[in-house]
Structure 1
């Protein structure tokens, strides 16, 4: 602790000024330290009435900015955070209640030092594994370089872990302090901590340690290999960024753990050596194989396993059963792998792919049904591929009840999890695209061009703009893009008016919406309020049925419904008028003989054989000779039916 005592000596104590006593700690001050200043003002038996402290250099700090406190004496603390080293000066003013000279203004000072350490350079410029690294550090107290001191110490840290120097630290007059150490491979944070008289500073630098010998694999010219193919593997070697000593290089090559003969060539360059290995691959099976390359150079070894594949041959075509070929392409996709094959004009395609599981996409052009057919098969295990696909557009197919926009035969002898099909249709053959129905036939009769089993309806999405239908399925067969035809019933009766319980002859014929006569169509007839009947059309599409009219009078509707599988039914009605019949029968005994001038009574018998009573019937006898007349008769009477 430094102490300052300031006083004035006078001949008479009556005129003595106040005395100022100052102490400073710590004794040695550095930038960043906290300085504590204590002072005491005394004037004999007089009391101190006022005191002030003012810093004047290198910065101005007024009394009001100093937190001056008092215990046994006055004290305050100051953090030396200012960017100034050197001499700091300040004044202390004390004033007492002495009637004489009662004030003192005194100047004081202390020195602040700056300790700095800087890593000037690191050698070597590029550091390799095993190199001894030298860091050159210059240490200064204020601006004066420190070249020797028993109080100077250094610590070396790599990535915050302290390491020991490899040789004793020494001072080089041109480069500064020399600190030597070793570092492992890679990038590191170097920190050197410098301490002087309990003051510490640190300096940091990023360093990177490289391999002295580098062996690297550059690549292989191909990974799909067929028997007798050559493969080329390329490597690069360097020692301290320069070519290697070829006499120290050793190489071996294995194929599936068996020795593989090879030739090699070396090409030196300014920054290293290119190594090229060339080997001929023979007698490998379809599937995955491993080429293992081993390169040794001095104390370094590189072992590189490279996967090669003998691919599977893909061959097939979009061919119908009668040998007609369709153009198109087939694509195999998995992860980032994708390979396509284009069918030639005969419909055939071929190529090579590695064995494995793929999504398979097929596009088959079926003109004029553009864009044709798209088929996507998910999760297909491709372990063999020998013409597994059959495709055809079936022509001249006729299915009762259906109008056909397209009929496709699709077969694929492949196992898959799901199939998505997009099939095109001929819009001109579809009457109403809103009524499109997709059918599937599991057992198609190619000779008769018809389905041997009941057609299965499939849900599908119809794209009217593209003229396609899209649906998912789990198996393939024959698919029909169709709509249901409508039946048209032409109905007639033999007459319009009937008596009770008359025979009504109902006839007609059934056609589809193309005008074709439909045989074997069911015809159901119901006379509303009476009986029902049924029949079928003959081979020409005609039908005839006899029924009985109702047993009551009135106007009756005859409703007729015609239907057949797949067709949309048709309903027609006609009306008939039914009344009771009115019929009288006259019985006359023709054994009577009538002579001129005689009167005779001849009985007449009239019987109502009809179905209705005849009220107030009038009986008229006409066509008698002029000389005969009727003497008496009953002109009107009721005649009951029966």
Structure 2
């Protein structure tokens, strides 16, 4: 018997191609791509690479199937070192079989360096030869390198294909620029897809250098020679020119050459010119060329003046003229005078004296003949100020701003941190007084140095100190005024010691009203005003504000009220005479004597029995100022009314306005009938006539009256006198004469 053993076919490894590495020369900072072909009948599960470099191990990286091949891009971040790298690429089938293939590459770096630029020094018109090394991993590249040269960013074409020199590198030749100056020579080298740039500085000179380096001294004073320092070289070699090769002029006028010294330094005798700044021009004739350069030189102006104190004694003052980093100093001598010279121009001018420093900024100086006045006044006084220092200064100069540091006396007992500077532009040196006004300046106070610092655009007097206070005390002649009254204000201006201060401007204002006035306090500080109050009722405030710089002024205020007067006046008969059973109407008069309308004026009569009298209009709704209304009052006596006299009052009242008219109601015995003659509307003593009356007695006077007109006239005169006397005794309001005569007439007629 034969046994057959069936076995599965033997497994085969995947088919794996060689690994392709791109790029051929990987440069530092670029990625590397691996590509491989892998196949297996059962299928490929994964393709990966295990990679190692110079001192580093990369993580396992998987390939990606792209277009039938497997690819892996290794990022440049993994290839951060130069040197050799090895990768083992493995392909694994779905059955677990695998095949591997190696790969290797080297990461390189491209470097470049400009080693030299010839000739040195280089001049305009030279052919420049640039020695340049291109290095791969530190090894010089001697072929397949491309170059580009720029000068200050502008392309400079190569004059020929460059050779390679073992000591100098690639020799790149270009033509120099046509202008002398400083240049940056940059070379860009390209090799196998990489590029590198390196640069070097180049100073390109003129073949012949000529310039006027300095001309001095400046400023020049009368009689001084002028020394010129030149730069003269031929391709860097100094030239000492002869006098025949040079020409020197100042402001176009020829200067005589006195000598030429190595350097070269040329001494000339300049022409005589007025103070100012002038061009100095030097011309060199050399070879076939002419070369010229120029500079400015100043001709000096004389500086002189003096500083004396108020007693004529000298002050030790230093003046400093600063411009363009140069400072010229002048100091006063034993007589307080200073002399010197400076060039005309703009300066920062500083005056120094003891603990004072005054600096004028941007001063234009064209002449300087005693233009400054500076005078400290340690014993000076200023009304309104407690002084720690006082200075007076003037400058007949054109300047922009002045900065002042002024010392002060800290023994005056003032609070130093509160010190203020006060400026008077119009200071009278002879009177030692400010003819204008004082303006406050807030300074910086240095309590250690006892100095205040501030700036100003004008000079004059500067007082360092604190303000004294001034205030005004005043009163009104009363608190309440009627429309049309005059408000009288009287007061006095006092300082902080309650001493009167004259010459203080005082402004009056009624708050919220167009009422204003102004005045000046007199010799005893007295001030007075009069004004009409507002033309409406209300409460108001009058404000007085004093002002006298530099005093610290404090104003005051007083309140007052304006009212419309409310008054009413009643005109009533003195006596009303009636008989029992008699009824008669009388006309009383009521007038508004105030400035405001009276509303709801109530009218009553008191002092008579009820029912004896009635008022036809017991309430007046409105009575305008100046308006008069006649009130009809009817008296009706009962037949049994007792014969007697009542003291009655006619009362009118409206709010706080009230008046009383007092009259007598006399109930008399019935009189014999008397025929009355109707009176004319107007009654006056000179023009009346009466008919004959029957005889009747006038008991109150004690004599009889006949019926003739002479007796009646006598009676009227006596009666008028009696009524006037009665009014005085009773202290009533005055009654118009017409009313008195009317009542007398009524009494005469039995009324």
Q: TM-score, normalised by structure 1?
A: 0.51
Residue 92 of structure 1 corresponds to which residue in structure 2?
90
Equivalent position of 2:189 in the other structure: 193
Measured in 1, the distance between the counterparts of 2:399 and 2:357 equals 16
Question: Where does residue 21 of structure 1 map in the other structure?
Answer: 17
Give distance in 1, aligned partners of 2:401 and 2:56.
87
Distance 1:30 1:162, change over 3 A: farther
Aligned-partner SS, 2:218: coil
Distance in 1, matches of 2:432 and 2:23, equals 114
| CA separation of 1:405 and 1:53: change in aligned 2, threshold 3 A | closer
- Alpha-carbon spacing, 1:332–1:92, altered in 2? closer, same or farther (3 Å): closer
CA-CA distance at 1:229 after TM superposition: 1.3
Secondary structure of 2:203's aligned partner: strand
* 2:197 is aligned with 1:209: no
- Aligned partner of residue 307 in structure 1, secondary structure: strand
Match of 1:290 among 252, 275, 279: 279
Cα distance 1:72–1:219, how it changes in 2: closer, same or farther (>3 A)? same
Q: For residue 188 of structure 1, report the CA deviation from its aligned partner.
A: 0.9
Aligned residue in 2 for 1:41: 38
8 Å CA contact retained: 1:52, 1:63: no
Secondary structure of the residue that 2:219 maps to in structure 1?
Answer: coil
Of 376-385 and 453-462, the range deviating more from structure 2 = 453-462
User: Which residue, out of 58, 61, 68, partners 1:65?
Assistant: 61
**Does the Cα contact within 8 Å between 2:232 and 2:240 map onto a contact in 1?**
no
Which residue is 1:600 aligned to? none
Whether contact under 8 Å (1:249, 1:295) holds in the other structure is no
More helix by share: 2
Cα distance in 2 between the residues matched to 1:181 and 1:276:
38
Deviations 1:604-640 (A, max 9, x none): xxxxxxxxxxxxxxxxxxxxxxxxxxxxxxxxxxxxx
Q: In the alignment, which of 144, 147, 159 is matched to residue 154 of structure 1?
A: 147
**Displacement, 1:261?**
1.7
- Relative to structure 1, the CA distance from residue 254 to residue 75 in structure 2 (aligned partners, 3 Å threshold; closer, same or farther) is same
Partner of 1:314: 303
Q: Taking structure 1 as reference, are residues 177 and 279 closer, same or farther at Cα in structure 2, changes over 3 Å only?
A: closer
- Does 2:176 match 1:179? no
Show structure 2 runs of 5+ residues with no match.
1-7, 381-386, 417-421, 469-522, 524-751
Q: Over aligned residue pairs, what C-alpha RMSD do you find?
A: 6.0
1:107 corresponds, among 101, 107, 112, to 101
3-state secondary structure, aligned to 1:328 = coil
Paired position in structure 1 for 2:340: 351
Partner of 1:167: helix, strand, or coil? coil
**Ranges in structure 1 where 5+ consecutive residues have no aligned partner:** 1-11, 268-273, 365-370, 398-403, 445-450, 485-535, 537-642
Pair 228,21 (structure 1): closer, same or farther in 2 beyond 3 Å? same
Structure 1 match to 2:228: 233
Secondary structure (helix, strand or coil) at the match of 1:265 reads strand
Paired residues for 1:47-58 under 5 Å: 47-48=43-44, 51-55=47-51
Q: Do 1:433 and 1:464's aligned partners in 2 also have CA atoms closer than 8 Å?
A: no
Measure how far apart 1:134 and its partner are: 2.8
- After TM superposition, give the deviation of residue 204 of structure 1 in Å: 1.3
Distance 1:296 1:467, change over 3 A: same
Q: Distance in 2 between matches of 1:343 and 1:188?
A: 56
- Counterpart of 2:60 in 1: which secondary structure? helix
Change over 3 Å in CA distance of 1:96–1:295 after alignment to 2: same
Query: Which residue in 2 is equivalent to 1:30?
Result: 26
Cα drift, residue 363 of structure 1:
6.9
Q: Deviations over 1:289-317 (max 9, x none)?
A: 22122345558876443322222223343
Contact kept? 2:307, 2:374, Cα under 8 Å:
yes
C-alpha distance in structure 2 between counterparts of 1:138 and 1:424, whole Å: 71
Shift of 1:41: 3.4
Paired with 2:270 and 2:121, the residues of 1 have a C-alpha distance of 42
Q: 1:507-537 CA distances to partner (integer Å, 9 max, x unpaired)?
A: xxxxxxxxxxxxxxxxxxxxxxxxxxxxx9x
**Equivalences for 1:597-616 in 2 at 5 Å?**
none
**What SS does the corresponding residue of 2:298 show, helix, strand or coil?**
strand
Distance 1:57 1:411 in 2: 86
- Tell me how far 1:377 sits from its aligned partner: 7.7
Q: How has the CA–CA distance of structure 1 residues 386 and 111 changed in structure 2, closer, same or farther, with 3 Å as cutoff? A: closer
- Within the candidate set 151, 154, 157, 1:164 is matched to 157
* Aligned residue pairs, count: 443
Q: Compute the displacement of 1:164 (Å).
A: 1.7
Where do residues 330-479 of structure 1 align in structure 2 (5 Å cutoff)? Answer: 331=319, 333=321, 335=323, 339-355=328-344, 383-386=366-369, 442=428
Partner of 2:688: none
Change (3 A) 1:76 1:254: same
Structure 2 counterpart SS, 1:229:
coil
1:421–1:82 CA distance, 2 compared to 1 (3 A) = closer
